[in-house]
Amino acid sequence: MGVELFDTSTPVHGLREELRAAVARVLDSERYILGPEVSAFEAEFAAYCGAGHAVGVANGTEAITIALRAMGVGPGDEVVVPSFTFYASAEAIPPTGATPIFCDIDPQTYCVTADTVRAALTPRTKAVIAVHLFGNVAPIAEIEALGVPVLEDAAQAAGSTVGEERPGALGTAATFSFFPSKNLGCFGDGGMITTGDEQLAERVRTLRFHGSHDKVTYEQIGYNSRLDELQAAILRVQLPHLDAWADGRRRAGCHYEEAGLGELVALPQPTAGAAPAWHLYVISDPQVERLEAALAAAGIGHKPYYRTPVHRQAPMLGWAAGVELPATEHAARTHLAIPMSPVLTREQASEVVVATRATLA
């Protein structure tokens, strides 16, 4: 039968009328930039995360650059970042003038730890970017206990929880992406910065708007980086469903476990206390190429996301001399994302497991 890697359309199918009405509302309002929909979504998203403030920006990459600058990161500073992540987590650092310093991960959770971060700290470290990779939740409090401010890269972790808390309210600030395939996705590009610090939020608001409050006087070199009214209206329709979708993602992970996938390959391990809304369900196996071929033959979606880790990508080589990250290299070599969505059924999970068993058992 085959199983798609993602299913982004089924979850929103029942919301089509509401989405059309939201788009019509924006058209009728004739307000397209920084209007009532963005303000309302910022308030709703801040409340959802349990963060004091949320500021909409153009995408999850600029969210990181702007958040770092609002945290005071600039030329001469170092920012610690994992190498096993989407390229943008590190790409967003050099535009601040700072230098990326690559750190390793825990091979079971795919997240940074206090130990891997500690190994990368120097007197020039100004911030750490802790990526909540694949929807897992990095141990922010343990990293902050090292005495360094943490920016959560929560692009993949909307809907995840850790105890009573959520990504977005764990570090000094957090960034989100609303790229269409994300757990909460809009119909274009979009991003958000959350923080509990009112002054930091105000700096973000200024930076996203050309470094200005009024587009008359300019306080600094900023960005034109705004979430637009259409995307905010679309996101407002979807946000009330995020928790149910997150439950569906967790349920899909359970389907894989119950079908015996853990007997065949290494399953992703939640960090302590976390209930990840798996954005990607990433397994690991030494014979991953064989598995890729078998899944392709069975029409089952799969993707190795980060075969070449960020510190070995050409533009990063100047910042990666002598960097050795054994867990990152292992994960890069052996990981594979298999189908995951809020609506992945028990039958689909067992189809994936049958194809895996036929290849690896």
Ligand X SMILES: Cc1ncc(COP(=O)(O)O)c(C=O)c1O
Q: Which residues bind ligand X (CB under 6 A)?
A: 59-61, 85-86, 88-89, 131, 153, 155-156, 177, 179, 189, 191
In the complex with ligand X, which residue's Cβ is closer, 155 or 234? 155
Q: Is the dihedral of CA 173, 67, 80, 48 positive or negative?
A: positive
Residue 156, CB-side half-sphere exposure with 13 Å CA sphere = 23
Please report how close the Cβ of residue 88 comes to ligand X at its closest, in angstroms: 4
Distance CA 333, CA 157 (A): 23
In the complex with ligand X, which residue's Cβ is closer, 167 or 270? 167
In the complex with ligand X, which residue's Cβ is closer, 190 or 270? 190
**Residue with the shortest CB distance to ligand X:** 60
Please report how close the Cβ of residue 312 comes to ligand X at its closest, in angstroms: 17
Please report how close the Cβ of residue 111 comes to ligand X at its closest, in angstroms: 11
What pairs with residue 281 in β-bridges? 338
**Token pair listed for 86:** 């989407």
What element of type H or E holds 71?
Answer: none
In the complex with ligand X, which residue's Cβ is closer, 37 or 189? 189
In the complex with ligand X, which residue's Cβ is closer, 106 or 189? 189
Ramachandran angles phi, psi of 99, nearest 5°: -110, 130
User: Mapping DSSP to helix (H, G, I), strand (E, B) and coil, where does residue 63 land?
Assistant: helix
Please report how close the Cβ of residue 190 comes to ligand X at its closest, in angstroms: 7
Please report how close the Cβ of residue 129 comes to ligand X at its closest, in angstroms: 9
In the complex with ligand X, which residue's Cβ is closer, 77 or 189? 189
Please report how close the Cβ of residue 1 comes to ligand X at its closest, in angstroms: 29
Tell me if 130 sits within 8 A of 143, measured CB to CB.
yes
Please report how close the Cβ of residue 101 comes to ligand X at its closest, in angstroms: 17
User: Mapping DSSP to helix (H, G, I), strand (E, B) and coil, where does residue 323 land?
Assistant: coil
Quick one: three-class SS letters along 178-240? CCCCCCCCCCCCCEEEEECCHHHHHHHHHHCECCECCCCCECCCCCECCCEHHHHHHHHHHHH
In the complex with ligand X, which residue's Cβ is closer, 62 or 77? 62
User: Mapping DSSP to helix (H, G, I), strand (E, B) and coil, where does residue 13 land?
Assistant: helix
Q: Which residues of 298-317 are buried (b: 16+ CB within 10 A; e: fewer)?
A: bebbbebebeebbbbeeebe
